Amino acid sequence: MDVRHPTHPDQIPTFDTSALRGHYLVEELFEPGAIHTVYSHQDRVVLGGAVPQPGSPLELETEPPLRSEYFCERRELGVLSLGQGAVTVDGSTYELAHRDCLYVGRGARSVSFDSSEGGRFYLVSTPAHTSYPTSVARHADTVPARLGDPATANVRELRKYVHPDGIRSCELVMGVTELAEGSIWNTMPCHTHDRRTECYLYFDLPPEHRVIHLLGQPHETRNMIVRNEQAVISPSWSVHSGAGTHRYGFVWAMAGENQAFTDMDHVAIDELR
Ligand SMILES: O=C[C@H](O)[C@@H](O)CC(=O)C(=O)O
Ligand SMILES: [Zn+2]
């Protein structure tokens, strides 16, 4: 488990490219036959990737930084399936298709991942004060919000999975946004939300393409060049927006003080520096 400490916005101008990437970019989450996790002290979000090999399920183990008997002892967990696979939680198996979401409530003792056809799972976990039921939200059954405009190259569909009017949780708010062919911008005009950390995982981006992801306070932005299946941790003071060299999708997940999706401090394009 990689541990990332929080940063102050005044540090941003002092970071070179590799320092910026070391603090905010999660480059290697998905390795065949392994589970990788990152513990961020930004709202104590844990990000992870699980890639089970056919016939060899992977069990989510606790890690020393958690000081817990099992992973979900004090935590809830969101799982976003990138492909076809199954997650077994305390003996109940949930089959997931590409972009389906499983929420695992606090107290689940055993969580394991299995796939016979190259499935992979993105994990986001946050501290939990109580136990909400483990449940599934399927991409095919979720009515998306249709956002954006062709003129601004940001036509996209947003699906909320874990949120106050969907799967209930303690802190976690989670969903997927997918851009239409020919659209490249997400979250522009952009925003911050001082009450929450937000993490993006970009997916469905061809290997030769990249997303130019913007971060930092609105008046002092930086960029990182991001590959497919890499994640970005955005502290509460940071914008989180990007433009791809190709269409893509991204999993967004938030944790912190509140769960109100509309609690955003909007930033006008002409305020950005
Ligand atoms: O606070 C909310 C998040 O930044 C994302 O949900 C934004 C997003 O998915 C989009 O604009 O497409
Ligand atoms: Zn946001």
User: Which tens digits make up the pLDDT trace of 82-137?
Assistant: 999 999 999 999 999 999 999 999 999 999 999 999 999 999 999 999 999 999 99
* Rounded average pLDDT over 34-44: 98
Cβ < 6 A, ligand 1 pocket: 156, 158, 177, 186-187, 193, 198, 240, 252, 264
Looking at residue 5, its pLDDT comes to 97
Distance (Å) from CA 185 to ligand 2 centroid:
14
The mean pLDDT of the chain is 98
Q: How confident is the model at residue 186 (pLDDT cuts 50, 70, 90)?
A: very high
Q: How confident is the model at residue 28 (pLDDT cuts 50, 70, 90)?
A: very high
Q: Top-level CATH class of 2-271? A: mainly beta
Q: How far apart are CA 164 and CA 132, in angstroms?
A: 12
Sequential DSSP letters for 208-251: T--EEEEES-TTS-EEEEE-TT-EEEE-TTS--EEEESS--EEE
* Closest atom, ligand 1, to C-alpha of 147: 12
Q: How confident is the model at residue 272 (pLDDT cuts 50, 70, 90)?
A: very high
Which percentage of the chain shows pLDDT scores above 70? 100
Chain segment 215-252, per-residue pLDDT in tens: 999 999 999 999 999 999 999 999 999 999 999 999 99
Domain boundaries, the chain: 2-271
Looking at residue 208, its pLDDT comes to 98
Q: How far apart are CA 33 and CA 50, in angstroms?
A: 8
Pocket perturbation via mutation, ligand 1, pick of 187, 254, 267 by most ligand atoms within 8 A of CB:
187
Residue 186, both tokens: 């997400």
Q: How confident is the model at residue 172 (pLDDT cuts 50, 70, 90)?
A: very high
Whether 240 has a binding-site annotation, put simply, is yes
Cβ-proximal residues to 145 (8 Å cutoff; 6+ apart), any chain? 157, 158, 159, 160
* Rounded average pLDDT over 144-161: 98
Task: Quote the ipTM score.
Answer: 0.98
Looking at residue 11, its pLDDT comes to 98
The backbone torsions φ and ψ at residue 110, rounded to the nearest 5 degrees and listed phi first, read -130, 125
* Closest atom, ligand 1, to C-alpha of 175: 6
Q: How far apart are CA 167 and CA 87, in angstroms?
A: 17
Chain segment 191-200, per-residue pLDDT in tens: 999 999 999 9
Distance (Å) from CA 158 to ligand 1 centroid:
8
